[in-house]
Amino acid sequence: MSFIADLHLHSRFAYACSKSLNLTNMAAWAKVKGINLLSGADFTHPAWLAELEDNLTPVADGYFQFDDMKFVLGTEVSCVFSQGSHSRRVHMLLFVPTFDVVHRIRAMLEALGSKLSGDGRPIVGIPARELAARLFDIDESCMLVPAHIWTPWYGLLGSKSGFNSLEECFGDMAVHIPAVETGLSSDPEMNWRVSGLKGKTIVSFSDAHSLPNMGRELTVFEGNASYHDLVAGLNGNLVERTLEFFPEAGKYHFSGHRKCLVSQSADETARFGNICPECGRPLTLGVVHRVQELSSETDWSEEGFNRPYTKLVPLIELVAYSMGKGRTAKPVSSAYQRICAELGGEVKVLTQVGYDDLYQVGGEDLAETVTKVRQGSVQITAGFDGQYGVVQPE
């Protein structure tokens, strides 16, 4: 038995997130996508927490239910502090078993001066090691997972404000960090090149700021959709596979300077340096460059710990491509919803549904488009410096 989880989400109370992100809509879109378990998200925000407590029904094993969708209590925390004469900004995912633990964490954060009624993604002004220790003192079943670890800003290993290893960030608490999130601009194989991540479970989630972006990355865990099995999955690498964005489509895959339209691969940056050739300002060093900096000669994926993964292009983009329209066009949205309803959800459409059924429900162009992506027959323009890349069928 397995379950498909998206555990990096936000509510409408998080900065730069859609006002449509409420429980009703999140549950409905999860069904369209084919997701079994969601994070309730942003549980430190008082208004959102009140909605969670009013609407989520506790079931068993630390999970909750709303409108036939399972939830666990999770949030993203922004840890901002100074260490080693550098300013550090690290985003982390936090999962907890009960609302009682949520309230104890909120009290701790408020005592530290965090303004919980502002952003649904609270800012905490203490070192990551101290935050981890405080959380585990509150409840040892708390799970702390560094988010989008390679993102230049707010990634634990990012080029702008991150560290060179988990140990440098967490010190003696690093052994209690069971997993890391890849982020949109990296895939598991890139992470396997970094020996410092050996033994850590590799997970991928959407970091959705809007409903349609839910499920753009997912993790398939072994077991039932419960907090107990989530903890077991993170601690024991009980992952069947991850479903991934093409990392080139992420906003920080290559290095570059968006204003000057300068994009560089890691090899090009190594040859030409990290200064924009157009304006002379520093480039934003991308994920590929940073992975290359921290990679080791031995790929630890050979040691049997790695799990398979599948690269996907969001179905809405494939429908739009096959129809020759933009992804926000009403005919595209209508076709997308109909295809998901008739064929069992987006994940199933992208990974399992056969050509004949795709042809019958979505037409020849969509069937060909989905098949090409499955075969890896795609054209790619890599993202850089905050600009998404483009992945299209050849």
- Note the pLDDT tens digit of each residue in 275-317: 999 999 999 999 999 999 999 766 666 567 899 999 999 999 9
Are the C-beta atoms of residues 358 and 345 closer than 8 Å to each other? Answer: no
67 with 165, same domain?
A: yes
Quick check: is 110 in a domain?
A: yes
What is each CA distance from 216 to 30, 287, 318, 370, 390, in whole angstroms? 11, 19, 13, 15, 14
Hey, what are 74's tokens?
Answer: 């999770």
Amino acid at 209: H
DSSP, res 118: S
25 with 140, same domain?
A: yes
Average pLDDT, the chain: 96
336 with 193, same domain?
A: no
Quick check: is 271 in a domain?
A: no
Domain end position, chosen among 225, 248, 271: 248
Quick check: is 63 in a domain?
A: yes
Q: What is the pTM of this model?
A: 0.96
118 with 11, same domain?
A: yes
Give me the residue label for tokens 């809405």: 316
Report the domain count for the chain. Answer: 2
Q: Is the dihedral of CA 150, 156, 161, 167 positive or negative?
A: negative
Instruction: Report the alpha-carbon distance of residue 112 to residue 234 in Å, rounded.
Output: 28
Confidence of residue 61 (pLDDT cuts 50, 70, 90): confident
Quick check: is 388 in a domain?
A: no
Domain end position, chosen among 248, 269, 284: 248
CATH number at residue 12: 3.20.20.140
Backbone angles phi, psi at 157, to 5 degrees: -105, 15
Q: Does the pLDDT value for residue 135 go beyond 80? A: yes
349 with 213, same domain?
A: no
DSSP, res 121: S
Task: For residue 283, give the 3-state DSSP assignment.
Answer: coil
| Residues 185, 74, 32, 56, Cα dihedral to 10° | -170
Structural domain of residue 331, as residue ranges? 314-380
Quick check: is 205 in a domain?
A: yes
355 with 240, same domain?
A: no
233 with 338, same domain?
A: no
Q: What is the DSSP string of 27-44?
A: HHHHHHHT-SEEE---TT
Q: Which of 55-64, 114-123, 283-292 has the lowest mean pLDDT?
A: 55-64
Give me the residue label for tokens 């972006």: 213
Instruction: Report the alpha-carbon distance of residue 319 to residue 363 in Å, rounded.
Output: 10
Quick check: is 288 in a domain?
A: no
Instruction: Report the alpha-carbon distance of residue 254 to residue 88 in Å, rounded.
Output: 22
> What is the pLDDT, as a whole number, of residue 303?
66
Do strands 2-6 and 143-146 pair parallel, antiparallel, or not at all (unpaired)? unpaired
For the stretch 179-193, pLDDT in tens is 999 999 999 999 999
235 with 333, same domain?
A: no
21 with 101, same domain?
A: yes
68 with 209, same domain?
A: yes
Quick check: is 274 in a domain?
A: no
Quick check: is 31 in a domain?
A: yes
111 with 217, same domain?
A: yes
Give me the residue label for tokens 């090149």: 193
